[in-house]
Amino acid sequence: DQQVKQNSPSLSVQEGRISILNCDYTNSMFDYFLWYKKYPAEGPTFLISISSIKDKNEDGRFTVFLNKSAKHLSLHIVPSQPGDSAVYFCAAATSGTYKYIFGTGTRLKVLA
Amino acid sequence: GAGVSQSPRYKVAKRGQDVALRCDPISGHVSLFWYQQALGQGPEFLTYFQNEAQLDKSGLPSDRFFAERPEGSVSTLKIQRTQQEDSAVYLCASSRGGLEKLFFGSGTQLSVL
């Protein structure tokens, strides 16, 4: 029973182009979402978050979009840089709780 | 230190051996989490502490897994009688509390032979 799904295990994008990473969830109680980036042999590092009262949150080159009716969120990276090559995890939680549920990750490769 | 520190970075254990994994959270962080990450998977929740209280241990796979945080700071995850299926990266994370973003350590990679 996977409540948070990242259906694309990998993605390759040319440097300078847009990277779009997708995440779907099944639990309608989730109202807080985060994206993490992970390099090999390191722990995940926080990238950007969004709560369900918004449908978009932007931080520099990173924008997260939330479509509550579709139970879908996406992370856009523009422009993509080789240093963005990493595994990206989305995570979801419900307000008033503490438990984050993570997806299985998408490996992004940005080609120079 | 500035971040979450975990030790050891790598641990090789023979099947049946007991192991102890240590986590030093960010100073002042109330919440501490342990996650298990199998190869090619996302982190899976194991247990949660608020200060020294273990409020949720629903993710611990079996009674061979035990976690403690006696003084509300450093935490130890102990696995008794390790099995091959315990091989994974064990991640510790801390936060200021509530639904705050988690700060992760680099993890301990456990290999059970």
Which backbone phi and psi does A83 adopt, to 5 degrees? -65, -10
Average pLDDT over residues B66-82: 97
Residue closest to B74 by CA, chosen among B92, B101, B60, B55: B92
Tell me the torsion sign for CA atoms A103, A110, A49, A45.
Answer: positive
Q: Do A98 and B31 touch (CB under 8 A)?
A: yes
CB-CB neighbors (< 8 A) of A4 in chain B? 42
Q: What is the pLDDT of residues B15-60, one digit of tens each?
A: 999 999 999 999 999 999 999 999 989 999 999 999 999 999 999 9
Residue closest to A111 by CA, chosen among A40, A8, A16, A10: A16
Residue closest to B111 by CA, chosen among B90, B87, B85: B87
Give me the residue from A44, A45, A99 closest to B45, CB to CB: A99
Q: Which residues, at least 6 apart from A29, have a Cβ–Cβ distance to it below 8 Å?
A: A94
Q: Do A46 and B101 touch (CB under 8 A)?
A: yes
Is residue A34 within 8 Å of residue A90, measured between CB atoms? Answer: yes
Kind of pairing between the strands at B31-37 and B88-95: antiparallel
What confidence tier does B1 reach under pLDDT thresholds 50, 70, 90? low
CB-CB neighbors (< 8 A) of A88 in chain B? none
pLDDT of residue B80: 98
pLDDT of residue B100: 82
Is residue B32 within 8 Å of residue B91, measured between CB atoms? Answer: no
Strand partners, A44: none
CB-CB neighbors (< 8 A) of B104 in chain A? 36, 43-45
The full DSSP string for A76-100 is: EESS--GGG-EEEEEEEE-TT----
* pLDDT beneath 70, residues of chain A: 1
Please tell me if residue A45 touches chain B, with a CB cutoff of 8 Å.
Answer: yes
